[in-house]
């Protein structure tokens, strides 16, 4: 059903791998909460004001900090001055690729740093709580 929905069509244009094996593999060992986080980012249904406004959960589509910019995923990750420090940390870890949304959402090597960015902004805390990776299981 999902594959026939208009949302899937739209998602496919953004990222053809949205339901691919590579995505399944990427999130396979994550807690459910983090899998949803990735899904919502990929389908652009993440709880930032632009989306919340569209579903009538926010009176404004704009960023709570930047009154004249819509709070899109792009704004949240790459533009908003509120998160300059967190963004700096991210780009120290990932270099230029830190400003590529497909890279952040699909590359296993980006996962830890992407989640740390999201977590340290605190912006999605009310929807997802802490979004850090769980510690690796101790090998017996
Ligand atoms: Zn902003």
- Residue pLDDT, tens place only, 2-50: 566 666 555 555 555 556 778 888 898 898 899 999 999 999 999 999 9
In a domain, 50, yes or no: yes
- Distance from residue 22's CA to the centre of ligand 1 (Å): 32
In a domain, 105, yes or no: yes
In a domain, 130, yes or no: no
- Distance from residue 8's CA to the centre of ligand 1 (Å): 28
* Nearest residue to 90 via CA among 114, 74, 122, 73: 114
In a domain, 87, yes or no: yes
In a domain, 21, yes or no: yes
- Classify the C-alpha dihedral 119-121-124-126 as positive or negative: positive
What pLDDT band is residue 108 in, cutting at 50, 70 and 90? very high
How many distinct structural domains can be found in the chain? 1
- Distance from residue 86's CA to the centre of ligand 1 (Å): 13
Half-sphere exposure of 70 (CA within 13 A, CB side): 9
- Distance from residue 30's CA to the centre of ligand 1 (Å): 29
In a domain, 129, yes or no: no
In a domain, 45, yes or no: yes
Range of the domain at 84: 17-123
More confident residue, 110 or 23: 110
How far apart are alpha carbons 133 and 136 in whole angstroms? Answer: 8
In a domain, 7, yes or no: no
How far apart are alpha carbons 99 and 82 in whole angstroms? Answer: 16
10 Å Cβ neighbour count for 33? 12
Residues 5 and 12: beta-carbon distance below 8 Å: no
- Distance from residue 46's CA to the centre of ligand 1 (Å): 15
- Distance from residue 75's CA to the centre of ligand 1 (Å): 6
């Amino acid at each position: 059903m999902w594959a026939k929905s208009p949302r899937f069509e739209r998602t496919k244009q953004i990222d053809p791998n949205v339901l691919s094996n590579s995505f399944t593999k990427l999130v396979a060992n994550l807690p459910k909460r983090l899998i949803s986080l990735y899904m919502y980012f990929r389908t652009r249904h993440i709880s930032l004001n632009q989306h919340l406004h569209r579903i009538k959960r926010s009176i404004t589509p704009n960023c709570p900090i930047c009154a004249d910019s819509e709070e899109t995923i792009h704004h949240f990750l790459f533009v908003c001055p509120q998160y300059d420090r967190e963004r700096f940390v991210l780009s120290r870890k990932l270099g230029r690729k830190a400003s590529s949304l497909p890279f952040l959402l699909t590359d296993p090597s980006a996962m830890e740093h992407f989640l740390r960015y999201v977590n340290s902004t605190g912006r999605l805390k009310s929807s997802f709580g802490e979004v850090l990776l769980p510690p690796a299981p101790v090998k017996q």
